[in-house]
């Protein structure tokens, strides 16, 4: 899983070389040349017009997890099973999509997260194909904004040749998030199951440090892009409210992951959250804002391309796709 490094070329030369390599990879059967399993077919993109700005929601594939990995209390299994059955969801498996948002304006192409890359799972890593399907060259991406640095969000930083997928971009990450993954304490205190994840981040993030812009919660890091505090899943996890005129859309990242539990049981602890108290507070705060402001949202792991809204019924919040 460890990336070997990147080619030391820049500017138009790097762009030209990346284009040639991608053409070569495609012509020779990319999975064989790259040494990975074949990628699954990607879903069609979803678009959200916002005045002169367009949001594209692109598929990086999907994950597959046991449903009981979603929460850390066996006593809640029966209640969760009832909620899953009511919603028509499997009680055995959770297969969340990976929904990546691309903001396209007159002078910007902004990706929110970069997906999994080819070294994580064979059901993921489809972002390059999804970009190609809407005729976007990754070398034309101006900015990459990270919600956090888990593998399915940042390992796509590198392409199949261990080059930066978006060689001309400026990168944005909350300072706490970057420092967490690069900290020796994080490495030394990680259990065996987390070491690969930590090592993957530590081998990728230094490659963009010289072009990284750190932000704080509340900042407008790009025109119309507000950094929203959604800590808990990771220390610097950030959601982004995109404002264009009277329209606003929230890019959630992993703040709200499950279409039932995250909305109807936001106070349940999740084993994937690094700080349970912060994550619970984040879910409740975001749900209240999304409902009160009638704001559309894009969830990285929510169904129907993650595009939806929040409603209330009998005292509970509910996810409404569409």
As a whole-number percent, the residues of the chain with pLDDT over 70 amount to 86
User: Is residue 34 over pLDDT 90?
Assistant: no
- For residue 1, is it within any domain? no
State whether residue 188 is helix, strand or coil: helix
User: Is residue 105 over pLDDT 70?
Assistant: yes
pLDDT value at position 8? 23
- For residue 4, is it within any domain? no
- For residue 84, is it within any domain? yes
- For residue 283, is it within any domain? yes
Bridge pairing between strands 143-145 and 109-112: parallel
Distance CA 258, CA 299 (A): 9
The answer to whether residues 214 and 175 touch, using CB atoms and an 8 Å cutoff, is yes
User: Is residue 181 over pLDDT 80?
Assistant: yes
- pLDDT, mean over the chain: 86
Please tell me the number of Cα atoms within 13 Å of 258 on its side-chain side. Answer: 28
CATH number of the domain where residue 164 is located: 3.60.15.10
pLDDT value at position 39? 41
Nearest alpha-carbon partner for 98 in 322, 271, 257: 257
- For residue 5, is it within any domain? no
Q: Which domain holds residue 282?
A: 11-321
182: enclosing H helix or E strand: helix 175-182
- For residue 47, is it within any domain? yes
Length of the chain, in residues: 322
Write 201-206 long-range contacts (CB < 8 A, 24+): 201/149, 201/151, 201/154, 203/2, 203/3, 204/3, 204/154, 204/155, 204/157, 204/158, 205/149, 205/154, 205/173, 205/178, 205/181, 206/182
- For residue 3, is it within any domain? no
pLDDT value at position 72? 65
Tell me how many domains the chain contains: 1
- For residue 2, is it within any domain? no
């Amino acid at each position: 899983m460890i990336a070997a490094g990147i080619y030391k070329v820049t500017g138009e030369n790097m762009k030209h070389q990346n284009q040639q390599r991608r053409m070569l990879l495609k012509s020779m059967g990319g999975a064989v040349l790259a040494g990975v399993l074949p990628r699954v077919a990607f879903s069609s993109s979803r678009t959200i017009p916002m005045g002169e700005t367009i949001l594209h929601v692109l598929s990086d594939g999907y994950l597959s997890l046991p449903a009981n990995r979603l929460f850390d209390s066996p006593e809640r299994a029966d209640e969760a099973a009832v909620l899953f059955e009511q919603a028509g969801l499997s009680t055995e498996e959770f297969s969340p999509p990976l929904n990546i948002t691309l903001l396209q304006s007159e002078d910007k192409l902004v990706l929110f997260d970069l997906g999994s890359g080819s070294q994580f799972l064979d059901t993921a890593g489809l972002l390059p194909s999804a970009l190609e399907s809407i005729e976007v060259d990754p070398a034309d991406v101006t900015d990459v904004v990270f919600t956090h640095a888990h593998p399915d969000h940042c390992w796509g930083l590198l392409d199949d040749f261990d080059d930066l997928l978006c060689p001309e971009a400026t990168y944005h990450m909350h300072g706490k998030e970057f420092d967490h993954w690069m900290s020796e304490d994080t490495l030394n205190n990680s259990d065996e199951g987390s070491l690969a994840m930590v090592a993957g981040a530590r081998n990728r993030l230094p490659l963009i440090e010289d072009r990284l812009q750190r932000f704080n919660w509340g900042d407008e890091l790009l025109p119309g892009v507000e950094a929203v505090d959604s800590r808990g899943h990771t220390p610097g996890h950030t959601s982004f409210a995109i404002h264009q005129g009277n329209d606003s859309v929230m890019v959630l990242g992993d703040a709200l992951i499950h279409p039932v539990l995250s909305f109807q049981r936001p106070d349940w602890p999740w084993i994937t959250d690094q700080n349970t108290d912060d994550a619970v507070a984040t879910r409740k705060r975001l749900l209240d804002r999304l409902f009160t402001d009638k704001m559309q949202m894009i969830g990285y792991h929510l169904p129907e391309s993650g595009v939806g809204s929040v409603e209330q019924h009998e005292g509970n919040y509910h996810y409404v796709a569409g």
